[in-house]
Amino acid sequence: MHLNKRMNKEKHTYIVLLFLCYSLTGCMISESAQFSPTRKFASTAVIRDIEAAELMLMKYHPSLYWYTDSASLQKSFQEGKRRVKDSMTEPAVRNLLNEILSTIRCGHTSVQHSKLYSRYMSWKAPSGFPFTCKITDDTTLVLTSGFFRTDSLLKRGVKIISVNERSASQIIDSLFPLIPVDGYSKNFSYQIISNNFSRFYNSRFPNDSVYKIIHCDSAGNIFSSTRSFYNRYADTTLSGISLKKAKKIVPPTTILKKESVRSFWVDSSRRYAVLKLNTFSSGLKYNYIRKQFKQLHQQHIPDLIIDVRNNGGGLINRSLYLARMIHDEPFIYVDSIETSVKRLKRISSSAGKLKKRIWINLAMFFLNKKNKSGEYSFRLFAGKQYKPHRYHFNGRVIFLTGGSSFSATSMLLSSVKGLPNVQLVGEETGGAAYGNNGVFIPDLILPNTKLRMRLPLYRIINNHTLKHDGRGVMPDVEVKANEESIRMNKDVKMIKAEAMILQRR
């Protein structure tokens, strides 16, 4: 009898497990079979998503009218809806929404692909426009690499005059709104587009299949070349393949992961050290920063180069920790962090879904404090005075900056700029000097396309004494890449910083 009960119990267990396996497998097959990068959404669905984005921005965004007025923003949404004439692919909808949001001029308010489409793009091999280009200014495109490795004419450093009768300035102007920026600093958009130029070009001009390229060499000679659509292999659907399994083919080693976040080395002459930080995310540990600055003290290194050109930000407390290593007097890192929102509420299914809403509400409950103006102040960071770290660096510091220096990185640079021992070398940062929006930035999942709109909840003012002109943190010494430095593959910013150090000898 006990044996029968045991057998019945095991039988029920197997049935449950079989059902779960069937359900999970069914979900994966459905996920793969239903997904197609060429799928189109009905115009009514696209318009409803635009309206959902507008509704949630009006309710939660802390700084909608920092750089525009309500009439201009409303006009932008109306114009966007008028442009929806027919069904649209996901990339087309994403481009349209980003163009609408560019009116706000908030670099943290942007639209990303849906989760499935992002997995597809991370899995898919490069195709389409066969070159990567760098935007060096409003009118100049310089080729940096090509997918056809044996191309003898279109090489690194070649200046692109036009592609398919579109001038370089026209191409740049058409791509610029695809990456919303902080205020009036174009560098962030230009840098992000340059990092993945081919995909942005394909997204904007999806019907191009042959490319007539007018270009010139270093001597000013003008040439015309025609290149075909680059397609490593054709794929329109992913039948039978789970996108979850296709997310990453070869995982990076632990060492490579760490090096992608940070690196440190001391010059053989012991004259200077270089600290490179590509993020202020949780992957950058306090112990690592403290260890390097302790080494600087022990070895009496007089000069330090900190490279934050590719640091798009991350956690405020990580960038604050580095600021404590640079300041030699007590300082206030952030003037104010405020929001008008007490907590996030789900309005309706038609307005989309805010990710991590419960966790953010818990944090806001404990960390918000209502002030006299009726706003809610974030208890951490704002208005607080911080002391320099015991291992703070007493020598000269040169920060290398660029368009990708954004968010928490621009907060850091805004804090240290002007200190007697600090110089900024490079380009205007992508993040605004006066302030930006952030702290908590949940994704709004739009109801129909499932595109993800980033929605910052707090307004951050770094320093209220600075001009609120929408510009980034300006370098003390401007150094930019040009055709020659790209052609020769020279790191002109690092070369300049090293020359400044050697000149002091």
Q: Give 315: exposed, middle or buried? Use CB within 10 Å, 0-12, 13-18, 19+.
A: middle
Q: Are residues 316 and 420 in the same domain?
A: yes
Residue 101 has pLDDT above 60, yes or no: yes
DSSP letter string, 285-322: -HHHHHHHHHHHHHHT--EEEEE-TT---B-HHHHHHH
DSSP letter string, 356-384: THHHHHHHHHHHEEE-TTS-EEESSSBT-
pLDDT at residue number 27: 45
Q: What is the separation, in whole angstroms, between the first and last Cα of the chain?
A: 93
Q: To the nearest whole percent, how much of the chain has pLDDT over 90?
A: 74
Q: Are residues 68 and 209 in the same domain?
A: no
**Within a domain: 143:** yes
Specify the 3-state DSSP secondary structure of 262: strand
Residue 3 has pLDDT above 70, yes or no: no
In which residue are the tokens 């000679």 written?
221
Q: Are residues 216 and 279 in the same domain?
A: no
Q: Are residues 107 and 131 in the same domain?
A: no
CA distance 287 to 293: 10
**Strand 303-307 and strand 396-401: pairing?**
parallel
Q: Are residues 44 and 189 in the same domain?
A: no
> Position 497: which residue type?
A
Looking at 96-105, 237-246, 260-269, 436-445, which range is the least confident one? 237-246
**What are the pLDDT digits (tens) for 275-303?**
999 999 988 999 999 999 999 999 999 99
pLDDT at residue number 69: 94
Are residues 103 and 72 in contact, defined by beta-carbon separation less than 8 angstroms?
yes
Are residues 430 and 188 in contact, defined by beta-carbon separation less than 8 angstroms?
yes
User: Per-residue pLDDT averaged across 193-214, rounded?
Assistant: 92
**Within a domain: 246:** no
Are residues 428 and 455 in contact, defined by beta-carbon separation less than 8 angstroms?
no
> Position 245: which residue type?
K
**Within a domain: 177:** yes
- Cα angle at 503 between 497 and 504, to 5 degrees? 100
CA distance 238 to 34: 9
> Position 495: which residue type?
I
CA distance 55 to 349: 12
CATH of the domain at 288: 3.90.226.10
Which of 197, 216, 231 is where one domain is finished? 231
Q: Are residues 167 and 227 in the same domain?
A: yes
Q: Are residues 276 and 144 in the same domain?
A: no
CA distance 365 to 371: 14
User: Which segments within 203-361 are labelled E, that is strand?
Assistant: 210-216, 222-228, 230-231, 262-266, 272-277, 303-307, 331-332, 336-339, 353-354
**What are the pLDDT digits (tens) for 41-93?**
999 999 999 999 999 999 999 999 999 999 999 999 999 999 999 999 999 99
pLDDT at residue number 146: 84
Q: Are residues 389 and 427 in the same domain?
A: yes
Q: Could you tell me which residues are beta bridge partners of residue 399? A: 306, 424
pLDDT at residue number 232: 67
Are residues 423 and 476 in contact, defined by beta-carbon separation less than 8 angstroms?
yes
Residue 5 has pLDDT above 60, yes or no: no
**Within a domain: 496:** yes
Residue 238 has pLDDT above 70, yes or no: no
The torsion angle over the Cα atoms of residues 391, 396, 401 and 406, rounded to 10 degrees, is 30
User: Per-residue pLDDT averaged across 108-112, rounded?
Assistant: 95
Which of 53, 81, 114 is where one domain is finished? 114
C-alpha 142 chain-centroid distance:
22
User: Per-residue pLDDT averaged across 162-172, rounded?
Assistant: 96
In which residue are the tokens 């605004």 written?
432
Structure tokens at 394: 């007493």
Q: Are residues 279 and 203 in the same domain?
A: no
Q: How many domains does the chain have?
A: 3
Q: Are residues 46 and 190 in the same domain?
A: no
In which residue are the tokens 């112990």 written?
287
User: Per-residue pLDDT averaged across 464-477, rounded?
Assistant: 94
CA distance 352 to 368: 25
Which of 64, 95, 114 is where one domain is finished? 114
CATH of the domain at 196: 2.30.42.10
Specify the 3-state DSSP secondary structure of 238: coil
Domain carrying residue 158: 125-231
**Within a domain: 307:** yes
pLDDT at residue number 257: 56
In which residue are the tokens 């300006």 written?
474
**Within a domain: 199:** yes
For the chain, give the number of residues.
505
Q: Are residues 311 and 389 in the same domain?
A: yes
CA distance 57 to 196: 28
**Within a domain: 178:** yes
Q: Could you tell me which residues are beta bridge partners of residue 160? A: 141, 215
**Within a domain: 12:** no
Higher pLDDT, 164 or 238: 164
User: Per-residue pLDDT averaged across 368-372, rounded?
Assistant: 91
Q: Are residues 381 and 485 in the same domain?
A: yes
Q: Give 207: exposed, middle or buried? Use CB within 10 Å, 0-12, 13-18, 19+.
A: exposed
Mean pLDDT estimate for the chain: 88
